[in-house]
Amino acid sequence: MTTTANRRLSTSAYDFINEPYLLSLLERRSDPGEVREVIAKSLAKEPLTVEETAVLLGISSPELWEEVFQAARQLKRDVYGNRIVLFAPLYIGSECTNDCLYCAFRRSNREVVRRTLTPEDIEAQVQQLLDRGHKRLILVFGEHPTYSPTFIAECVRRVYAVRRPKANIRRVNINAAPMDHEGFAEIKAAGIGTYQIFQETYHHETYAKVHPRNTRKGDYLWRLDALSRAMEAGCDDVGIGALFGLYDWRFEVLGLVSHAWHLQKHYNVGPHTISFPRLRPAAGVKLDETYRVSDEDFKRLIAVLRLAVPYTGLILTAREPAWLRQEVMEFGVSQIDAGSRIEVGGYTEAGDAQVLEREQFELGDLRPLDEVIRQLLVDGYIPSFCTACYRLGRTGEHFMEFAIPGFIQRFCTPNALTTLMEYLVDYASPETRAAGMKLIESELAKLPDGPRKNALIERLRLIQETDQRDLYF
């Protein structure tokens, strides 16, 4: 195996996870006064330090936890309003050289079906996704020589090239292996949005236990440093994440916050998104339940992350059941996937039931996109497919310049409404269309009168009455 010693790391490369210190922070209990001071700082939209985050994790009182939830609800409304961004995963291949103990795609698993989509397969999958109303995808790859930077870049260009009447994919994100600088630059040049890499666990002993040393993923520092290299290669939007259930959830939260601060310190911008999936059953996998995260603790970790990183998008995937996703959107989550299939080729071949031997893990929410959107509308959210910021350069540091003062709301609500109108006109069921038109009318009534509102009303009319699409501010 190639080791970190003979691979070029970033200029900021070092193991910044001070494990003894993080564990020491988790040993103390927090008093109400300091908890409320931390909450007040977060409500002022200031990111929390690792130490301040640990204060929230040290709460033992149910009453104080309720104050955390209430603060997270308020901060979510203040920063993101009532928008929920929607996307879909597209699994390109299940070949993998790693042997992660929790993953169905690990190389030693004989139960899983191996497959890599051909260019024609990709086009068929994207056509299906477009016909259902999707505009944003994340392409998912195993770690394998087949999935080189050139291959990934070609897949991205193939996705963007697919066209349907009045529809195309407007943003492609990536979940793939760590690359060197040149690899990240090549993939970025294909026009990707966010490059997402999960550390899985920040706890060193656990990381070594679940990622055998004779694999590329067994190199802790190479993976920890990956998104720093991505930043240096020009990827100004990156996503971090941890797989909750491998180790103590509180430690993983501190690891994520440490990682966010490292990127902020060295590259002047933190991660664009944070993901926090829980372990799920998978074909050929025997899960260790030692650190299983309960539903209540899962809600707590989401609320703490919301308060710790006010301007970072929090992604909740369809691993979780529908009822839980519905509940936690209120106090933290800003992005979800919907209508998801994670079998390779699943959008055209899988049918209604899951095919476990073709999946990386089992999903908890199999509702179709239209049903998810209708529930969001009923709950008072604006489902958004907006990609305007990425195409207008409002990313990385520039995104923060807009977001921190709150100016982003001038763009986000109008753009969310235009993309919602596109969905209602082109794809929605009658029930969803009725709920959506009612919500649009309600949102328009909230906007102050003026040129911007008039321009939005005109764009909504054009979408309804003509073939014009992709009208954004």
Q: Extract the tokens encoding 189.
A: 């040049």
Question: What's the confidence (pLDDT) of residue 405?
Answer: 52
Determine the average pLDDT of the residues in 313-328: 96
List pLDDT tens digits, range 9-55.
999 999 999 999 999 999 989 999 999 999 999 999 999 999 999 99
C-alpha–C-alpha distance, residues 358 and 284, integer Å: 11
Beta carbons of 130 and 161 less than 8 angstroms apart: no
List pLDDT tens digits, range 209-260.
999 988 999 999 999 999 999 999 999 899 999 999 999 999 999 999 999 9
Burial class (CB in 10 A: 0-12, 13-18, 19+), 165: exposed
Q: Extract the tokens encoding 217.
A: 């993923």
Determine the average pLDDT of the residues in 91-98: 96
Question: What's the confidence (pLDDT) of residue 400?
Answer: 54
Beta carbons of 352 and 386 less than 8 angstroms apart: no
| Domains of the chain, start order | 4-17+82-367 (3.20.20.70), 20-74 (no CATH), 402-465 (no CATH)
Question: What's the confidence (pLDDT) of residue 1?
Answer: 47
**Cα 160 to the center of its chain, rounded Å:** 20
List pLDDT tens digits, range 344-394.
999 998 777 788 788 888 899 999 999 999 999 999 999 999 887 767 766
Q: Extract the tokens encoding 223.
A: 């993976």
Question: What's the confidence (pLDDT) of residue 69?
Answer: 98
List pLDDT tens digits, range 132-165.
999 999 999 999 999 999 999 999 999 999 999 8
Read off the pLDDT band of 412 (50, 70, 90). confident
The residue type at 111: E
The residue type at 286: K
C-alpha–C-alpha distance, residues 378 and 387, integer Å: 24
Q: Using only C-alpha atoms, what is the Rg of the chain?
A: 21
* pTM: predicted TM-score of the whole model, two decimal places: 0.95
Question: What's the confidence (pLDDT) of residue 316?
Answer: 97
Residue 183: φ, ψ to 5°: -65, -45
Q: Is the pLDDT of residue 324 over 50?
A: yes
C-alpha–C-alpha distance, residues 254 and 468, integer Å: 46
Beta carbons of 236 and 396 less than 8 angstroms apart: yes
